[in-house]
Amino acid sequence: MRKNRKIFCNKCGKKFVMNKDIVQEGIFNMEYMWGYFSKKDGEIHSFDLCEKCYDDMISQFIIPVDIRDSNEMI
Ligand SMILES: [Zn+2]
């Protein structure tokens, strides 16, 4: 049981606003297991970014992220 869990933005260190273990603001949560052809085979990397750091990160992409409306999936 993880009561009063704190989550921080890995990039800027900002603490996310939480209420009953639910993040009350935009958060980008990433968890990725590297595969066989990488140098990190079998390692699971995870991190969280606040919305500002996420925007900063994707603003450096040469090709923009794909954005879809989740309502289309329903
Ligand atoms: Zn941040």
pLDDT of residue 38: 97
pLDDT reading at 5 higher than 50: yes
Q: For residue 12, report the distance from its CA to the centre of ligand 1, in Å.
A: 4
Q: Going by C-beta distance under 8 Å and a sequence separation of 6 or more, which residues neighbour residue 44?
A: 31, 32, 33, 34
pLDDT tens digits along 18-55: 998 899 999 999 999 999 999 999 999 999 999 999 99
Q: For residue 61, report the distance from its CA to the centre of ligand 1, in Å.
A: 17
Residue 56 CB: number of other CB atoms within 10 A? 13
- Domain map of the chain by residue range? 27-62
pLDDT reading at 67 higher than 50: yes
Angle CA(67)–CA(9)–CA(65) in degrees, nearest 5?
A: 15
pLDDT of residue 21: 86
Q: For residue 29, report the distance from its CA to the centre of ligand 1, in Å.
A: 12
- Alpha-carbon distance 63 to 11, whole Å? 22
pLDDT of residue 45: 98
Q: For residue 6, report the distance from its CA to the centre of ligand 1, in Å.
A: 14
